Amino acid sequence: MKLLPLLILISFLAIPVSIYPSMLEKDYDVNDEDLRKIAIRKGIVLKDIDKAYIDEETKKGNTLHVWIAANRYEKVKIVDVLKDLYREEEKAIIRNPSVYYVDEMNFIMFTNILHKAYDYSEGKGLKRLLGTIAVMEGDYDDGKSRVEALRNFLGDEVFDQYKRNYPKRYQCLIEMDKENNE
């Protein structure tokens, strides 16, 4: 199966994701409570999460644990802020609705925890996760090539594996680049 090597390879990057969720056959949806329950069961977050825990994890830069603890409204607001950061810091626009990214991020994190590909290290961030999803979706628009943005996010080795394993998705990014250059 080609999916598992990509899961493992990407999990070692500086991002906590395994794969872009649209590449998976999503036969289930993940809600906030499902994500929280599996994270508790696997010992990733505490069962009784309070403000002190969230503050401590935030100071560590472990925004993924904060994400798991957040409710849906808070997650939409987090994604709104992250999209603003991309616009301000990198001059990149991410257009898909924030709620779309909440669902995708929940699904990725749930899948990673379920398949033991979750990166527990501190300092792994939601901004990187959002950016990676947006780049793979072709929704990361900094006015430059979407293919080059993907290469920059994944690195050459994972990028080459992505091209081999997901040729249709890669071709779609090439077509988006062509449309932007016309």
Same structural domain, 138 and 165: no
pLDDT for residue 60: 74
Same structural domain, 121 and 179: no
Same structural domain, 157 and 130: no
In a domain, 65, yes or no: yes
What HEC string does the chain produce?
Answer: CCHHHHHHHHHCCCCCCCCCHHHCCCCCCCCHHHHHHHHHHCCCCCCCCCHHHHHHHHHHCCHHHHHHHCCHHHHHHHHHHHHHHHHHHHCCEECCCHHHHHHHHHHHHHHHHHCCCCCCCCCCCHHHHHHHHHHHHCCEECCCCHHHHHHHHHCHHHHHHHHHHCHHHHHHHHHHHHHHHC
pLDDT for residue 14: 38
Same structural domain, 138 and 67: yes
Same structural domain, 133 and 149: no
Mean pLDDT (10-residue bins), the chain, 182 residues? 39 39 56 90 82 77 82 93 94 95 92 74 72 91 92 90 88 89 72
Same structural domain, 114 and 103: yes
Same structural domain, 126 and 63: yes
pLDDT for residue 21: 41
Same structural domain, 97 and 48: yes
Same structural domain, 97 and 44: yes
Query: What is the domain count for the chain?
Result: 2
In a domain, 130, yes or no: yes
In a domain, 1, yes or no: no
- Determine the structural domain holding residue 178 and report its residue range: 144-182
**For the whole model, what pTM was predicted?**
0.77
Same structural domain, 129 and 152: no
Same structural domain, 68 and 35: yes
In a domain, 12, yes or no: no
Same structural domain, 133 and 182: no
In a domain, 7, yes or no: no
In a domain, 10, yes or no: no
